[in-house]
Amino acid sequence: MLKPHLFELPAGVQLIYLAEGGANVIYRFVASAPVKSALALKSPLSTAGVEACSGVPAQLRGKLLRLRKETAADIPYQEIVRNFDNIIRPLFKPEELVEQTLIRLPEGLIQRCNEQLRLAETNGLRPAKRHGGYLCVNESFGLVITDMTTADDPGASMAELKPKWLTPSPSAPSTARRCRTCALREMKNHNVQSLQQTGHRRSFCPLDLVSERFENVLRATAFIKGCGDRAHLARILYRNSTLQKLQSHQKAMKNVGLHGPPAQSREMSVAMTLRDCTMFIKIPRDDKAPVEIRLGDLDMKAGLGGKAEYWLDVETQLISEGWYQGTNSSQEHSECALQSSRRSTPSA
């Protein structure tokens, strides 16, 4: 990785808003005519007529810019990258990860981005649930990350999924008929219904993703968006080496239950990070071209801000209220592999 002071945004590159989550905003690089300032900022909520890579400097092609919001955790990007390089990167091959590299930001960039976000709120162009959240003005760096969108190949498709718990929770009862992910989903669905809200959610069972039976993997793809050809996606995921490696690391870091390491320990943080990442699958239009599969969202999950206690409280509730065993009165049909006869031993 280049040293931060050697890697700066070049003059003439503009930013276009792409997406945002609770902790970050993602921008696309767009070429522009040379300007006097270090960086010109187009409206971040408009992408019309933008060609993503044409004229963009070589070191930024195939990349996106991630900027950090002001959050309760308030972890600077330098620490995030240090943890990523020292803890996460050694666990996988470079081509299995969404790369992230520090880049120094021009003075005033964050302020201009925040102005555009506020303007977008007044114009109704920013998602309502993101209103009031702005970029951290004390952050001097951004992150250049791998672009896993299909902007460079409009005929390609991109599937996205959260593998979650590919192994059972060590705290789950031996008679469990739900894996950790399915038990939690069913509990959340029950809570939503109790509040007379809509939003009942169905999804795949993570154990199906690593099943030795192709038909189980195929069943899981019914709940994965982004690829219309389910059979093709199932063939990509079946015995996939990156999924198997993720499962192997989860097995090695299995002490995540009620009797594991302290909630705010590094061991617990790594274990939970590996259970809350995202898998991006870019499938090219050309069937003969290689499929690109990378894991992202691998910032270390800190136990600060009550998160550690929340993890333990959820585990206790899943056990005490019968969600693992499927005995709660609201539990009927489930996608979970543990409930049905199709259960098989996941691949290692």
Which pLDDT score, from 0 to 100, does residue 13 have? 79
Q: What is the pLDDT of residues 40-86, one digit of tens each?
A: 455 454 433 344 455 678 889 899 999 999 998 889 999 999 999 99
- Averaged pLDDT score across all residues of the chain: 86
| Percent with pLDDT over 70 in the chain | 85
My answer on whether 42 and 178 are in the same domain is: no
Look at residue 172 and tell me if it is in a domain.
yes
My answer on whether 36 and 79 are in the same domain is: yes
My answer on whether 210 and 283 are in the same domain is: yes
Look at residue 180 and tell me if it is in a domain.
yes
Question: Would you list the DSSP string of 287-347?
Answer: TTSPPEEEEE--S----GGGHHHHHHHHHHHHHHTTTTTT-STT------TTTSTT--PPP
Looking at the predicted structure, is the pLDDT value of residue 37 above 50?
A: no
Confidence of residue 196 (pLDDT cuts 50, 70, 90): low
59: tokens are 């070191």
Which pLDDT score, from 0 to 100, does residue 306 have? 67
Q: Which structural domain, as residue segments, surrounds residue 125? A: 4-146
**Number of domains the chain contains:** 2
Q: Strand, coil or helix: what is 133?
A: coil
* d(C-alpha 13, C-alpha 55), whole Å: 9
Looking at the predicted structure, is the pLDDT value of residue 25 above 90?
A: yes
Looking at the predicted structure, is the pLDDT value of residue 38 above 50?
A: no
Which pLDDT score, from 0 to 100, does residue 70 have? 95
Q: What is the pLDDT of residues 291-315, one digit of tens each?
A: 999 999 999 887 655 677 788 899 9
Which pLDDT score, from 0 to 100, does residue 1 have? 43
| Percent with pLDDT over 90 in the chain | 63
Which pLDDT score, from 0 to 100, does residue 240 have? 98
My answer on whether 66 and 196 are in the same domain is: no
Q: Please give the C-alpha separations between residue 173 and each of 177, 321, 334, 343, in angstroms, as whole numbers.
A: 9, 12, 18, 17
Looking at the predicted structure, is the pLDDT value of residue 161 above 90?
A: yes
Query: The pTM is what?
Result: 0.88
* Average pLDDT, integer, range 23-28: 96
My answer on whether 10 and 47 are in the same domain is: yes
Look at residue 328 and tell me if it is in a domain.
no
Confidence of residue 195 (pLDDT cuts 50, 70, 90): low
Look at residue 327 and tell me if it is in a domain.
no
Given strand 278-283, what is the order of strands in its sheet? Answer: 157-161, 278-283, 292-296
